[in-house]
Structure 1
Amino acid sequence: MRKRKTGKTMLVSLLLVLSLAVTACGSGNNEAAEPSATAAATDAAAATAAPTTAPAAEDGLYSIEDFSPQKTNQGEAIEGGTLNYGLVSDTPFEGTLNYTFYSGNPDSKVLQWFDEGLLTWDKDYVFTNDGAATYEVSEDGRTFTFTIRDNVNWHDGKPVTAEDWAFAYEVIGNPAYDGPRYGSDFTNVEGMEAYHAGTAKTISGIKVLSEKQLQVTYIKSTPSLLTGGIWIYPLAKHIFGGMDVAKISASPEVRQNPIGFGPFKVQSIVPGESVVFVKNEDYWRGAPKLDGVVLKVVAPTTVVQELKAGNIDMVDSFPIDQFPDNSGLSNVEYLGMVDQAYTYIGFKLGKWDATNAVVVPDPKAKMANVALRKAMWQAVDNNAVGQKFYHGLRWNATTLIPPSHPEFHDDSNPGVAYDPEAAKKTLEDAGFKMNGEFRTNPDGTPLTINFISMTGSDVAEPLAQYYVQSWKAIGLNVTLEMVEFNTFYDRVGSNGEDDPSVDVYQGAWSVGIDVNPQGLYGHDAIYNFPRYQSDENDRLMEAGISAEAFDVEKRKEIYNEWQQLMVEEIPVFPTLYRAIVVPVNNRVLNYAINDGSGIYLNELALSADKGIAAQ
């Protein structure tokens, strides 16, 4: 990735919006798609300032290439200690604390401390045999035999079993399941669709071979199976096995007393606000070096003060817009990497059919005209947005496979270029004529577009207002509503119900380790929030996980075609690729933010008993 250059002319409207932005503003974490100690400089470690980051270039922009994803250790580890972790958000975390059911990124930041998958992956996102389970694959690539290690136990001491793993598949495949996971990864399991339809009592492709050994047979061998296409999270059958599936996600065992087999145990929860974790002495990798972790929600407006005081040791992700003014904090080291994510503008093109679990496009949807969608993309200058709002640590996005997956991101595809004059012509040619201040539909009826975006920082609304003003500049009447995180995703359809008042929305996606986009844009994906479907999209989705796609060059070709299809059909358009920047207190040892680093949470340690304050 290269740093973007300055010099591009900004729209007057963007400059006006920027003048409203507060310098020390909040987090963009709620875009989709993680108690305090008295601060003191206690020993020599406090006086040793960690390398924070490379300085900005003369143009004021930063490059993520200048950051390391791994913490520089300073000082010697003390015995035990409690780490303080900040989940940066302007809203409570939802509290669905089980991998089978959660949907929001904040909940995943809570989950990571006390639960985990049975398989791990390397830096290339390929499953390894280094996790809590190992696997073998049949010659035809369709049957996987998993063996859970003997010392992998739930926090209540019960062993994690093959029955637990199979039970997770049974719950997700149950028609009463109310979570977001059921989709192509599960329908590829032999017998799953018959089980889901109620015509079979068991899933024929899943066999429990012994207490610790599970066999799963897939209909098709796909390249995605080794890079995230396998469900790796068991569900404790001895706890949930007697429950009505429809009631599990709201149960106290998920909300108040969650269980896992990770390095820490949940000791107490203040719903939506904080969690106290204690070390799991029985953790399969070895007991954690820390005594515990205290997680609390930290407002974007106060996160800098909490970091400076040493009250929190690290955060899930730092507000990029606050970074330049705080890049020199003496008590933290900033870690950074290209995020597996992108921000985007989405267009509502249909509805979700909950009965059949498929997208149903609406050819009469307000945003159904692709020319209208293209013009809205042409009207916004995302290069300028990345530079002015995010100082180069977010940058213009061109396709829906981000550069966090360099093997498949098509960096030769320019997307749609910023050109407001071309946007006006696009609308004129499609029949969207000016009638006074705004344009009408091609049939002459008034056109008002309802746009929702998430709160989360002082920059969030000015940024959304910039988009509104950019669209106004080409004659579109767009109304804006700012919505908090949990409500936002309910309204765009995470619960299967699409709010008819929403026409356009600004969201963000974390793409995970598997490049396969079916989970976000497949016709059977509930996360397909634009409710987009086309035969060509279906064809390319299937081709991307076909036998021919085991040839990496062929898979690149397929996904390049798919990226171009999305540029042409525009159910959504990407706005910004993202860097993740994480400040970590100087007392923290043995920590990294990159996948496949080989550094695990049980290895976290501290060099001082209290957080180090900034000097």
Structure 2
Amino acid sequence: MRKTSWSKALLALLLVLLLALAACSGGSEEGEAEGDSGGSDSNKSEDSGKKLYSIDDFSAEKTNEGEAIDGGHLKFGLVTDTAFEGTLNWNFYSGAYDSEVIKWFDEPLLADDENYMYTQDGAATFETSEDGRVFTFTIRDNVNWHDGEPVTAEDWAFSYEVIGHPDYNGVRYGEDFTNVEGMEAYHNGEADSISGIEVVDEKTLKITYKEATPSLLTGGIWPYAMPKHIFEDIPVAKMAESPEVREHPIGFGPFKVETITPGESVVYTKNEDYWQGEPKLDKVTLSVINPTTVVQALETGKVDTVHSFPVDQYPDNAEMSNVEFLGQIDMAYTYIGFKLGTWDKEKKQVKPDPNMKMADVNLRKAMWHAVDNNAVGEQFYNGLRWNATTLIPPSHPEFHDSENPGLAYDPEKAKEILNEAGYEDVNGDGMRENPEGEELVINFASMSGGDTAEPLANYYIQSWKKVGLNVQLLDGRLQEFNTFYDRVGQNGDDDPKVDIFQGAWTVGNDVNPDGLYGRDAIFNFPRYASEENDKLLEEGISEASFDVEHRKEVYNEWQKLMVEEIPVFPTLYRSELVPVNNRVQNYSIAFNWYGRHEISVTQEEPMKAE
């Protein structure tokens, strides 16, 4: 068996030393464009001797080998060092791990294609009015909830009514909903119903939008229904914590939830009445697998596959004999965020505060210049993560501005900026004070998880220390996943101790970044807002932006603005790697894959590594 982890102290020391050596050779040049190919070719890095890999060498589709048996039991691993939260409903979940649990038993009514456009291939079809404002949806007759009740237009409308309700306490309400006619009046308690939503008959729903936008067909329509017959007697404020969400949720997907061990595992059985056909598997078990033991779990056959494999462990396990590694450019990026305000719960929008510790853009700019993300991508991830430049990742190649270089690694430039902005070492301790001569300690929140989490956080801290900035881990330790997002504000409660944070975003099908950086987006964790940002985000979904070239120009300007104002700076674009046991057939990690009912296996138990 291959080694999968070292002593954390030794690993931290070696990685920091490797990064220091790589940094001495210089970072990316100013103006160097990041392509959307996914990183470097598979060869040796001239600086470090490390083998680099390219995401171009992977496929998103599993190769089928052998003949499938009837039935079978798939074992699926959720790779995390923490429990999944267990909010198992599309309307209320907020964590990525919960979404992985939900995907096995529930799904959207609308399918999409490789360009993220809604198609007519899902559980519902649709027609659009000439002006693009009115959508008429028809749910297929054979789409039923797991309890046998049909999925109806009332269920789909009910989902909108729950999210728009004044007592709704989830994170979904935003411009995708406020664009529905009558939604704001309903949300404000001024109307008892949503005028723009009409239930035509049992299977037909009509939604009228205030404005036709290019986002509507790429994720701007909420495609999830909610079983009204189950939830209609539960107060909206209590739904998220109800047993119907946490203990025995239902959907209309290919598998039914049989049992849940909170935060640890879920057992599913096949939904024989699934609208696309009876699933080939009899059973699926999802269980939490710690990142430090994921290789062992795969090699011994404890799991067939995982939702995401830690790419830093790939080089030592690339030749694992019992799996095939699938891969694609991830719809995600990691980033460093700066707290620039708070969340106004009453107004449900960000409240910028010019007195925040990180309010000076010069400080933020210097911190970006101080880190070498090319070296991070090579030394920590062997090229399977790579330097990020803008906040629209290359998973959306039509809108990712590959000509925008971001800010290059240049620690001398960082020092120069800090000097000119008045951040000087007043007392001679090697650390800079703020322009008022006061001690400057920057509290850094970073997540636990995997062997690289701690050395990576330490690398950033050391990089900032080299330019004279005293950055300390929040509470002197890494934060576990749920605690981290609570403290940075996923529920609207911003911990005042957090000054900067390292996070990661999975972006949606729609390129529109308003859901992460809009003034009314609770996921806008830096609490950033500006008139220019408002203007560009609005223009990006305007009628003029139905012209793709115009929309590109708008989002290029937005990416440029984010490089200038730096509420966050992107650090790495990411590869998604997923190992799948050789006994598994018809498996895919494509973003528009809705074929879990087709998964099959060729033998009763997972193959073990030789």
The alignment's TM-score, normalised by the length of structure 2, stands at: 0.92
- Aligned-pair distance for 1:434? 1.5
- Equivalent residue, structure 2, for 1:607: 602
Counterpart pick for 2:524 among 512, 523, 528? 528
Q: 1:344-493 counterparts in 2 under 5 A? A: 344-435=335-426, 436=428, 437-481=430-474, 482-493=478-489
- Aligned-pair distance for 1:592? 0.9
Counterpart pick for 1:321 among 298, 312, 316? 312
Q: Matches of 1:58 and 1:501 in 2, distance apart?
A: 42
Q: Matches of 1:522 and 1:274 in 2, distance apart?
A: 35
Unaligned runs of 5+ in 1: 1-12, 21-53
Q: Matches of 2:120 and 2:556 in 1, distance apart?
A: 31
Q: Matches of 1:324 and 1:596 in 2, distance apart?
A: 28
- Equivalent residue, structure 2, for 1:17: 16
Deviations 1:348-383 (A, max 9, x none): 000111111111100111100000000000000000
- Aligned-pair distance for 1:18? 5.3
Counterpart check, 1:517 vs 2:513: yes
Q: Matches of 1:610 and 1:427 in 2, distance apart?
A: 60
Unaligned runs of 5+ in 2: 1-11, 20-39, 46-50
Q: Matches of 1:19 and 1:143 in 2, distance apart?
A: 57
Counterpart pick for 1:152 among 119, 143, 152? 143
- Equivalent residue, structure 2, for 1:31: none
Amino acid corresponding to residue 70 of structure 1 in structure 2: E
Counterpart check, 1:504 vs 2:497: no
Amino acid corresponding to residue 288 of structure 1 in structure 2: P
Sequence identity percentage: 67
- Equivalent residue, structure 2, for 1:32: none
Q: Are the equivalent residues in 1 in contact too, given 2:15–2:380 (CA < 8 A)?
A: no
Amino acid corresponding to residue 605 of structure 1 in structure 2: S
Q: Matches of 1:284 and 1:445 in 2, distance apart?
A: 65
RMSD: 1.4
Amino acid corresponding to residue 268 of structure 2 in structure 1: F
- Aligned-pair distance for 1:596? 3.2
Counterpart check, 1:209 vs 2:200: yes
- Equivalent residue, structure 1, for 2:491: 495
Residue 557 of structure 1 aligns to a residue whose secondary structure is helix
Amino acid corresponding to residue 478 of structure 1 in structure 2: V
Q: Are the equivalent residues in 2 in contact too, given 1:162–1:211 (CA < 8 A)?
A: yes
Q: Matches of 1:328 and 1:214 in 2, distance apart?
A: 51
Q: Matches of 2:332 and 2:166 in 1, distance apart?
A: 30
Deviations 1:307-362 (A, max 9, x none): 01112100000011110000001100000000000000000000111111111100
Amino acid corresponding to residue 548 of structure 1 in structure 2: A
Amino acid corresponding to residue 455 of structure 1 in structure 2: S
Counterpart pick for 1:304 among 282, 285, 295? 295
Counterpart check, 1:242 vs 2:243: no
Q: Matches of 1:55 and 1:410 in 2, distance apart?
A: 21
Q: Matches of 2:223 and 2:390 in 1, distance apart?
A: 29
Q: Matches of 1:301 and 1:518 in 2, distance apart?
A: 35
Residue 326 of structure 2 aligns to a residue whose secondary structure is strand
- Equivalent residue, structure 1, for 2:259: 268
Residue 301 of structure 1 aligns to a residue whose secondary structure is helix
Deviations 1:175-201 (A, max 9, x none): 211111000111111111111111111
Q: Matches of 2:527 and 2:310 in 1, distance apart?
A: 30
Counterpart pick for 1:102 among 64, 70, 93? 93
Deviations 1:3-53 (A, max 9, x none): xxxxxxxxxx98662579xxxxxxxxxxxxxxxxxxxxxxxxxxxxxxxxx
Q: Are the equivalent residues in 1 in contact too, given 2:18–2:379 (CA < 8 A)?
A: no
- Aligned-pair distance for 1:443? 1.3
Counterpart pick for 1:57 among 32, 43, 61? 43
Q: Matches of 1:338 and 1:594 in 2, distance apart?
A: 10
- Equivalent residue, structure 2, for 1:123: 114
Counterpart check, 1:137 vs 2:123: no
Q: Matches of 2:265 and 2:285 in 1, distance apart?
A: 7
Counterpart pick for 1:72 among 60, 63, 69? 63
Count of residue correspondences: 570
- Aligned-pair distance for 1:58? 3.3
- Aligned-pair distance for 1:560? 0.1
Q: Are the equivalent residues in 2 in contact too, given 1:14–1:466 (CA < 8 A)?
A: no
Amino acid corresponding to residue 595 of structure 2 in structure 1: Y
- Aligned-pair distance for 1:595? 2.3
- Equivalent residue, structure 2, for 1:542: 538
- Equivalent residue, structure 2, for 1:581: 577
Q: Matches of 1:433 and 1:175 in 2, distance apart?
A: 49
- Aligned-pair distance for 1:56? 4.0
Q: Matches of 1:581 and 1:455 in 2, distance apart?
A: 20
Amino acid corresponding to residue 501 of structure 1 in structure 2: K
- Aligned-pair distance for 1:55? 9.9
Q: Matches of 1:399 and 1:298 in 2, distance apart?
A: 32
Residue 610 of structure 1 aligns to a residue whose secondary structure is coil
Q: Matches of 2:229 and 2:500 in 1, distance apart?
A: 44
Runs of 4+ in 1 over 3 A off after TM superposition: 13-16
Distance 1:18 1:156, change over 3 A: farther
Q: Matches of 2:156 and 2:271 in 1, distance apart?
A: 21
Distance 1:600 1:328, change over 3 A: same
Distance 1:130 1:342, change over 3 A: same
Q: Are the equivalent residues in 1 in contact too, given 2:76–2:284 (CA < 8 A)?
A: yes
- Equivalent residue, structure 2, for 1:592: 588
Q: Matches of 2:413 and 2:249 in 1, distance apart?
A: 54
Amino acid corresponding to residue 58 of structure 1 in structure 2: K
Q: Matches of 2:41 and 2:290 in 1, distance apart?
A: 27
Q: Are the equivalent residues in 1 in contact too, given 2:533–2:558 (CA < 8 A)?
A: yes
Residue 198 of structure 2 aligns to a residue whose secondary structure is strand
Q: Matches of 1:202 and 1:223 in 2, distance apart?
A: 26
The alignment's TM-score, normalised by the length of structure 1, stands at: 0.91
Counterpart check, 1:291 vs 2:290: no
Counterpart pick for 2:334 among 325, 340, 343? 343
Residue 223 of structure 1 aligns to a residue whose secondary structure is coil
Q: 1:40-51 counterparts in 2 under 5 A? A: none
Q: Matches of 1:141 and 1:576 in 2, distance apart?
A: 37
Q: Matches of 2:444 and 2:550 in 1, distance apart?
A: 38
Amino acid corresponding to residue 57 of structure 1 in structure 2: N
- Equivalent residue, structure 2, for 1:168: 159
Amino acid corresponding to residue 148 of structure 2 in structure 1: G
Deviations 1:371-430 (A, max 9, x none): 000000000000000000000000000000000000000000000000000000111111
Q: Matches of 2:552 and 2:403 in 1, distance apart?
A: 12
Deviations 1:69-88 (A, max 9, x none): 10000001100000000000
- Equivalent residue, structure 1, for 2:5: none
